[in-house]
Amino acid sequence: MADGSSSSGMTGAQRGGVRGWPRTGRGWLAEISDAVVSVFFPSGCRICERLLTSASQVPICEECLSSFERVPNIVCEICGLLLPGWTPKEGEALLCPACRNRTYAFDRARSFAVYQDAVVRAILLLKFEQIEPLGR
């Protein structure tokens, strides 16, 4: 049809995969290409050394990536220091003792994850082996 839809009334994007086959996740073609890459160019996770089963710019397996422990919500509003056991008071900023007595050149600092185990090794890869996709 003139508007890009088929006789079923669906556009190519709505139909999904190749020749109307439904797309699942990243798509079957991407899964095949990942399998071919992992067979001909096997690579291990740079943290745990398990064989990577999919092609990626980040050389870390899904298990290691999912092991990054996120920083809890109870943190200093300025420096991001963990404040376990502290309770925010209504209308009052939650500040650690250092930030109450000091002014910094930045407004706020935050961490993606708790700095331990796999996160430490991932940061070292980013810093010293220039694996820049880790920083995105």
Q: Where are the beta strands (DSSP E) in the chain?
A: none
Q: For 81-93, what is each residue's pLDDT tens digit? A: 888 888 888 888 8
Looking at the DSSP bridge assignments, the partners of residue 75 are: 82
> Measuring CA to CA, how many Å separate 88 from each of 37, 83, 85, 93?
50, 10, 10, 7
φ, ψ dihedrals at 70, nearest 5°: -65, 150
| pLDDT for 6 beyond 50 | no
Residue 37 or 105, more confident: 105
